[in-house]
Structure 1
Amino acid sequence: MMMMREPMRIYLMSALIGLSAVSQGQEAVLEAAANVVYSEADTSGFKEPQRQMNDLSIWDSERFQKAFLGSYGVNADIEPRVTVVEQEQMQKVLDVLSEEDSMEKALKLLTKYNKEASSAIFDFTIANLHFQMDELEVALRFYEQAIEKFPNFRRAYKNAGLIQVRNGAFKKALPYLTKTVELGGHTSLAYGLLGYAYGSTDQHLSAESAYRMAILLDPETVDWQLGLARSLFKQQKYGDAASLCGSLIEKNPESADFWLLQANAYLGMKQPMRAAENYEYVNLMGKATAESMTMLADIYVNEERWDLAADSYLRAYEIDNGENPSKPLRAAKILAARGALKESKRMLNRVAERKASLVEADLKELLKLQARVMVSEGGGEDVVQVLEEVVAVDPLDGEALMLLAQHYGRNVPEKAIFYYERAANVEKHEAEAKLRHGQLLVGQSKYQDAIPLLRRAYELKPRSDLEDYLKQVERIAKSRR
């Protein structure tokens, strides 16, 4: 955080003057001075929030910055006063702060004056200066010292809570923020951050209550409304969340967050095509993410809209700049399993454009999926070449062995049996390999030989359909003895 600029310094000076004036009954003078400075305060020195807080915009708002600067004032009813000697010491600090680049000098002077028996105002002021310089851990330590000296120091609780939220330490922030409210700090900021901290610790009912209070006091801040929508969603109150998001979208139609959250609510309401409309609109806005396009594609898969699914999967791949091939490979596998071979090939061909840069695991997956599609289409030697390339890389790749066996099962059963036996040695594929091998023998009318294989397959993975099939084979085998 940059050093505070001149208007901010004027405010601090006014507040410190107020420390000496309070004992004379002149709180109104301090309040008037503060209000004048609010209209011209330069708060551009405030630093952007840390990464975990990027979804809160209040840190940059003028209202928040003024509220923080306002913490230099004094609430004589519940917060510590200063003695006459301490007033004189603070006056000297004020003189230093009237100079350019004076923050460090002021801190040294405050540290000199701050003793164990000194007013908590000293610790609090030191903490505020460190807060403005973005030295948050140091600031927190001095806020805690101020609280130890004066246990009902509301402003110290509030600012300590702000630091914990800024640091993403939400569980630690809760005691500070709840104490702030308990001591009468009924502000939208206190309730809003309380809601955020509750939501971040999975206390969503409490988060909902806090956000509703924040909105009651400040209906214009979007962060609190979005937080309320998220807390409703987390409680599976999908209808309420979708309705609230609709209101937010009317006010802020260009905010992708609202459209995406409403889409998630629609999914919770079992209305996938309404969710798809939202995802499509976000894509048209140019604000789609790889995750949102993948969600859209999955919706289209479930609706058997294979072409739209492939388009969405490819769009997600483009957003990722082709740096995560495992996602389109997963998509191609899903499409192939659903029989959408044409669309699966589109995905695989796109990934194959970067074949040279694929890691071994992704390369194997690409080759196996290409082979699977070829086998489904009745491919010939091309598929054999691809699968043998996979087996050469990994001789225990059970999936490749199974695909080779299925390919040869049409015309060269001896080779098919060879590969089924190899695949059966891979634990993950033993059940399927035994089943396919047994079915191949049944197709050759070798029922007695097939029975042990089918029984083993059933032992490994019991299924009612397989049980029925095994009984039929046993009856036929018995009738032909």
Structure 2
Amino acid sequence: MVGRKSPMNPRILLRFLPIWLVLFGPRAFGQESSSELEAGPTQIELSIWRTPSYQRRFAESFRSQASVEPRVSAVEVDLMSDAMDLMAANDIDGAISLLESKRRVDGSAAIDFMVGNLLCVQARLEEASEALEAAVDKFPDFRRAWMRLGDLEARRGDVEAAHRALVEAYRLGANDSDTIGLLGWANAGLDRWVAAESAYRQAIMLAPDSLDWKLGLAEAMIRQRRPREALVILDELIELRPDSSKFWAMQAEAHLAVGDPSSAALDLEILEAIEGVTARSRSMLGDIHLEDGMPLVAADRHLAALKLAESPDPGRAFVALRRLVDGGEVQAAGMLMDELRELHASGFDSRELATLERLEARVAVQRGEQAEAAAVLEKVVDEDPLDGEALILLGRYHGRMPDGMERAEYWFDRAAMIEDVRNQAKLRHADLLISRGRYAPAIALLKQVQREEERASVKALLDRVERYERQRSREPSDGGGAS
């Protein structure tokens, strides 16, 4: 019965031993191999075991281990042993069916754990996840189940679920390199780069020869804008595995981040020699040519990347396109936009399509096609009334029109109600008011922005506008004075 406090019969313990060994291995007993188990204790070990201090420490360690392992009744031990007999006969399905037929809400979490393990063996990962979740629901401190669940969810690619399980395993004392390294991977997948770095460093300390954890640490350095530290790690990795394309690709990214496009280009030449011309290498070359001030060549490389990819991911091309538009590179931006527009036929999501339409509108403005740009932006806003960037662009468009002040303020006010772009909308609105000589309302907007987020540039602008307003208020008005 679950929760039974009386000591387990030695015969039952002996019967349970093969189950424990198969599920957890001889290392669960602190031994390196089964041959060491068979050798038995030496006379020195026996004398140590008889000392009261050792016996006390042994009892404490057992209690500590018991706190993270569920209790198992004698009946459940028999059940697990019967399942082992079926496993020995290579009848995994039969073992699972037997255990499933006896699983109870008030049964031991060890049964659910064993079912989850067997389902993992059969690659039935969703069912395995459900069984392991049942195990930790019954016994929340079941460390081994949390570890297994974290590993399983990582295999399934569910980063959030893996992170939750691995954090619990770590909290309960799991301190092996695999658990901690996977925790680094999960934090990286959630863009928690400081936590990822910490986990990867611990994992490397425990497994200094692991290339995966070192590569993860290098990526964490790059994402935290510390590419020079990443280059030190990547030099070591490439020396160990010069044929690894992923090491060369990340080194190219790090060289780009430190402003060394020539070295990045050399890295990519080696990368393409290893794995051939790929969408990844072409898009990275596009980024390099952007850094080198060659926008047309950059656009051409990103076009090649889109055509090479079996399942094109436009994310990197959108980043390049935005940079081209920001730099006023109308011809190169137009080339890339045309290809992205063709790609839309094979499936953009609504967010990507809205991004493309906003960028098309900005290029239209740069070409002097103001009315066309406004029409595109109004279409974007009709489809997504909360598209703050499009609302601001509409405000700026109408602000350039001689009679567009009222419409411009309408769009800026709408954008200011959206949290993500609130301050940007108020700053653009203030710029427009200043250009029209309406200093008092501009000052009010600038003060609102400064209260929410202090910025030196906004403070300098606010001081300057307040000075203009004071000077103007001291000047006599036209036609003023006594008659």
| Contact 1:211 1:225 (8 Å CA) reproduced | yes
Judged with a 3 Å threshold, the aligned counterparts in structure 2 of structure 1 residues 34 and 166 are, in CA distance, closer, same or farther, namely: farther
Name the counterpart of 1:177. 166
Q: CA deviation at 1:308?
A: 7.0
Name the counterpart of 1:39. none
Q: CA deviation at 1:285?
A: 2.8
| Contact 2:67 2:141 (8 Å CA) reproduced | no
1:80 to 70, 76, 80: 70
| Contact 2:19 2:84 (8 Å CA) reproduced | no
2:112 to 110, 113, 123: 123
Alignment partner of 1:109 is 2:103: no
Name the counterpart of 1:270. 259
Name the counterpart of 1:202. 191
Q: CA deviation at 1:293?
A: 1.9
Q: CA deviation at 1:320?
A: 4.7
Structure whose CA Rg is larger: 1
> Bigger shift: 269-278 or 223-232?
269-278
> Partner amino acid for 1:189?
D
Name the counterpart of 2:145. 156
| Contact 2:15 2:81 (8 Å CA) reproduced | no
- Tell me the TM-score normalized by structure 2: 0.53
Q: CA deviation at 1:281?
A: 2.3
Q: CA deviation at 1:156?
A: 0.6
Give 1:404-415 correspondences, 5 Å limit: none
1:99 to 59, 66, 89: 89
1:146 to 135, 152, 163: 135
Q: Deviations over 1:293-344 (max 9, x none)?
A: 233244335535689769856864773599999x7xx89x99xx879x9xx9
Alignment partner of 1:192 is 2:181: yes
Gap runs ≥5 in structure 1: 1-13, 37-74, 362-396, 404-419, 430-453, 464-481
> Bigger shift: 224-233 or 114-123?
114-123
Distance 1:208 1:174 in 2: 15
Name the counterpart of 1:368. none
Name the counterpart of 2:18. 18
Gap runs ≥5 in structure 2: 1-13, 38-64, 346-360, 376-399, 409-430, 433-483
> Bigger shift: 130-139 or 299-308?
299-308
| Contact 1:178 1:194 (8 Å CA) reproduced | yes
Distance 2:21 2:307 in 1: 64
Judged with a 3 Å threshold, the aligned counterparts in structure 2 of structure 1 residues 224 and 28 are, in CA distance, closer, same or farther, namely: closer
Distance 1:360 1:97 in 2: 52
> Partner amino acid for 2:223?
K
| Contact 1:18 1:29 (8 Å CA) reproduced | no
Q: Deviations over 1:347-371 (max 9, x none)?
A: 99xxx9x9xxx7999xxxxxxxxxx
> Partner amino acid for 1:109?
L
> Partner amino acid for 2:253?
N
Q: CA deviation at 1:32?
A: 4.2
> Partner amino acid for 1:166?
R
Instruction: Work out which structure has the larger RCO, using CA pairs closer than 8 Å and 6 or more positions apart in sequence.
Output: 1
Percent pairwise identity: 30
Q: Deviations over 1:382-414 (max 9, x none)?
A: xxxxxxxxxxxxxxx9999x99xxxxxxxxxxx
Name the counterpart of 2:217. 228
Distance 2:107 2:21 in 1: 19
Judged with a 3 Å threshold, the aligned counterparts in structure 2 of structure 1 residues 79 and 269 are, in CA distance, closer, same or farther, namely: same
> Partner amino acid for 1:133?
Q
- Tell me the TM-score normalized by structure 1: 0.53
Judged with a 3 Å threshold, the aligned counterparts in structure 2 of structure 1 residues 200 and 34 are, in CA distance, closer, same or farther, namely: farther
Distance 1:319 1:91 in 2: 55
Q: CA deviation at 1:146?
A: 1.9
| Contact 1:15 1:34 (8 Å CA) reproduced | no
Q: CA deviation at 1:161?
A: 1.3
